[in-house]
Structure 1
Amino acid sequence: MARQRKKSDFPTKICPVCDRPFTWRKKWEKCWDDVKYCSDRCRRRKQSDNPVNL
C-alpha cells in the first residue's frame, strides 16, 4: 500500500486576487501549471477592481 503524503509536502501557489496560499489538489493533477486562482470566487473577481471582502 502506498504511503500518504503530508499536506505540507504538496506544492503551493499564491492567489493573485486574495493573496492567500493554496495547495495542490488531486483534481488539479493534470492542469496544476494552469491553475491561478484558489477558488471560483477569486476566478470570478479576477477582473474586478474591488478588493475581495473576506
Structure 2
Amino acid sequence: MQRKQHLPQKTCIQCLRPFTWRKKWTRCWDEVRYCSERCCRSARQAKHPRRHEYEQHD
C-alpha cells in the first residue's frame, strides 16, 4: 500500500494549484490537466463565451 505523500503530483492549468493522483485516474493520468470538473468547465467557458456575450446592445 502506498502512502499519500508518495503519490505523483501535477499542477492544474486553470487554477495553478497542485493536485495529486487519484485512483479514478489510473488509466488516464497522462491526459489529466485539471484538478476538478469545476476547473475544466471554467476553462471551456473561457474558450467559448456564451452567445449573449456576442450580441451587441444598441
Unaligned runs of 5+ in 2: 48-58
TM-score by length of 2: 0.72
Q: Which residue in 2 is equivalent to 1:16?
A: 13
Partner of 1:7: 4
TM-score computed with the length of structure 1 as normaliser: 0.77
Name the Cα RMSD after superposition: 1.3
Percent identity (aligned): 52
Select which of 18, 31, 35 maps to 1:34.
31
* Higher Rg of the two aligned structures: 2
Which structure is richer in relative contact order (CA contacts within 8 A, separation 6 or more)? Answer: 1
The number of residues matched between the two structures is 46
After TM superposition, what 4+ stretches of structure 1 lie above 2 angstroms from structure 2?
Answer: none
The whole-number CA distance in structure 1 between the counterparts of 2:40 and 2:16 is 13
